[in-house]
Amino acid sequence: MTRSGKDYVEGLRDNRRVFVDGEYVSDVAAHPAFKGAVESIARVYDLAHDPANAAEMTFPSPTTGAPVNLSYLIPRGEDDLRRRRVALRKTAEATFGLMGRGPEHVAGFLAGWAGRSDVFAAGEQRFADNVTKFYEYVRDNDLYCSYAIVPPQIDRSKPAHQQADPHLYAGVKEEREDGIVVAGAQMLGTGAAISDYLVLSCIVPLQPGDEDQAISVAVPIGAEGLKIYSRRSYAEAATSVYDYPLATRFDETDSLIVFDDVFVPWDKVFVFRDRQITSDQWSRTPAHLLGNNQAQIRFSVKLDLLAGLALRVARMNGSDKFPPVRGVLGELAAHAAMVSGLVYAQEQNCELDEKGVAWPGREECYATMTLQSDFYPKLLHLVRDLVGGGVIQLPSSAADFENPEARADFERYVQSPGHPTIERVKLLKLVWDLVGSEFASRHQQYEMFYAGAPFLVKSRMSQIYDFARAEALVDGALAGYDLGGRTETVQA
């Protein structure tokens, strides 16, 4: 059954241990560092919970028949991927594509795992059953899962077991009859502070000897011993919504997750000390594709926002008809259209596996991931180029308008035809929060790294792309001529 925003907020009042600015936060929903993000996620919950959106954003739970969020759908074909995209696009539009790790992100991973629980059965059947039961539980209760699947940067030159302390990277410290004890840390739990469950696993390759880190488990955020160290909150530092319209509402926060001897009962263990299955869960299930397909649907919304803002500023400044400005707008539009197109292509080129689960088109999904780390910073640069100093020549904060002398000067000098001061400043402060503020800068880092270090993503693309198709063309081209000058058109 879908939850309302109110249900979600009430669920956050547990024993979670979230730290920010040296303070232990007992109620994230009320704390200025997290309040804005919690309210935004609550609105996302309300959206799917609204009966008017049920047909578009939910499907009947196969176990209870009640409507559940479409982000949890295990797709069985192109139509399911299309339905899923429509729901995920609407979800992303509610936050303008600015919350990368809302409830719908890890939902896709869990659907991918549950669709291929047989991969987990290679360990033991009970692990596959745990995956299925956990997936059904979070789906039917509409829970918000975040994840931490990358070890912290301590010494990247050494595998987990060769670090100064074998329990620096989160892993098994003790095996008990009723479960396992996990110790160590993992990065970088985006949204963890405001979610219900954390999935802990490892996506980076593990070496022989790293078996303790070769796990997949789920823990409630309020679990004893789980500590969430949030980075600085941009929402808390913001002067007002008018000054920082995005940071105040969509700062999902990212955290270092520390497992201080966290007990995990066996029924929440999906992979146990198995390097092969830890790796297979990403590559032999559609989890990574479904999760990243969602991420790209979200990304395409953000690119539309970026393009729309660029046009609005150009129009306001009277530069929108200048040919070079049209060129910049065209470049922004082309990237937005390309990402949308690659999302559509993932549906069209999906593949059904032997269990009847639809995997979004691989080449298109990884192509987007590969390119976005390079082009997102470039698009920010294009917008910065377009807006010039306008985003800097602004009142220091909304409080300036309360001073009559300052307000009079701003009303005279900071305005454009058809755009009185308050509107002009509003638009430019929105642009700055998307391309230049600390929030914007974190977003740049996010789009570059959320799918992994760019060099790794690129190298994965080189394994996925159909080079046989490309090489066949090379063979054809080489076969068409020889040293003697013979040329012919070769049949493909």
Ligand X SMILES: Cc1cc2nc3c(=O)[nH]c(=O)nc-3n(C[C@H](O)[C@H](O)[C@H](O)COP(=O)(O)OP(=O)(O)OC[C@H]3O[C@@H](n4cnc5c(N)ncnc54)[C@H](O)[C@@H]3O)c2cc1C
Nearer to ligand X, 156 or 412 (CB): 156
Exactly one of 262, 285, 450, 457 binds ligand X (CB under 6 A); which one?
A: 450
Figure out which of the listed residues 162, 445, 459, 462 binds ligand X, where binding follows CB under 6 A.
445
What are the DSSP E strand ranges found in 92-210? Answer: 145-148, 171-175, 179-186, 197-200
Of 237, 415, 454, 458, which lies in the binding site for ligand X, with binding defined by CB under 6 A?
Answer: 454
Considering only 386-394, 417-425, 445-453, 458-466, which stretch makes contact with ligand X by CB under 6 A?
445-453
CA distance 276 to 481: 47
Report which secondary-structure segment, H or E, holds 352. strand 351-352
Rank residues 115 and 151 by Cβ distance to ligand X and give the closer one: 151
Specify the 3-state DSSP secondary structure of 25: strand
Nearer to ligand X, 66 or 154 (CB): 154
Question: Which of 187, 398 has the CB closer to ligand X?
Answer: 187
Judge whether 190 is annotated as a binding position: yes
Task: Give the integer Cα–Cα distance in Å for 307 and 301.
Answer: 10
The contact mask relative to ligand X for 74-103 (x = CB under 6 A, - = no) is ---------------------------x--
- What residue number has its CB nearest to ligand X? 190
Task: Tell me the C-alpha distance between 24 and 57, whole Å.
Answer: 36
Q: Which is nearer to ligand X, 41 or 427 (CB)?
A: 41
- The 222-261 site mask, x for binding ligand X (CB under 6 A), equals --------------------------------x-------
Burial class (CB in 10 A: 0-12, 13-18, 19+), 369: buried
For the record, the structure tokens of 455 come out as 């060099």
Q: How many helices (H) and strands (E) does the chain have?
A: 18, 14
- The angle that helices 103-115 and 35-49 make with each other, rounded to 10 degrees, is 60
Would you count residue 196 as binding ligand X (CB under 6 A)? Answer: no
Cβ-based neighbours of 86, under 8 Å, separated by 6 or more: 56
H runs (alpha helix) in 94-197: 103-115, 118-121, 125-141
CB of 289 to ligand X, least distance (A): 16
User: For ligand X, which is the closer residue by CB, 117 or 146?
Assistant: 146
DSSP code at position 119: H
Q: Which stretch binds ligand X (CB under 6 A): 311-319, 376-384, 446-454, 484-492?
A: 446-454
234, 303 in Cβ contact below 8 A?
no
80 marked as binding residue: no
Which lies closer to ligand X via its Cβ, residue 102 or residue 395? 102
> Taking phi first (over 0 means left), then psi (-120 to 50 degrees means alpha), and beta for anything else, what does residue 225 get?
left
Considering only residues 127 to 166 of the shown chain, the ones binding ligand X according to CB under 6 A are 147-150, 153, 156
- Binding-site members for FAD are 153-156, 190
Contacting positions for ligand X (CB under 6 A): 101, 147-150, 153, 156, 187-190, 254, 442, 445-446, 449-450, 452-455
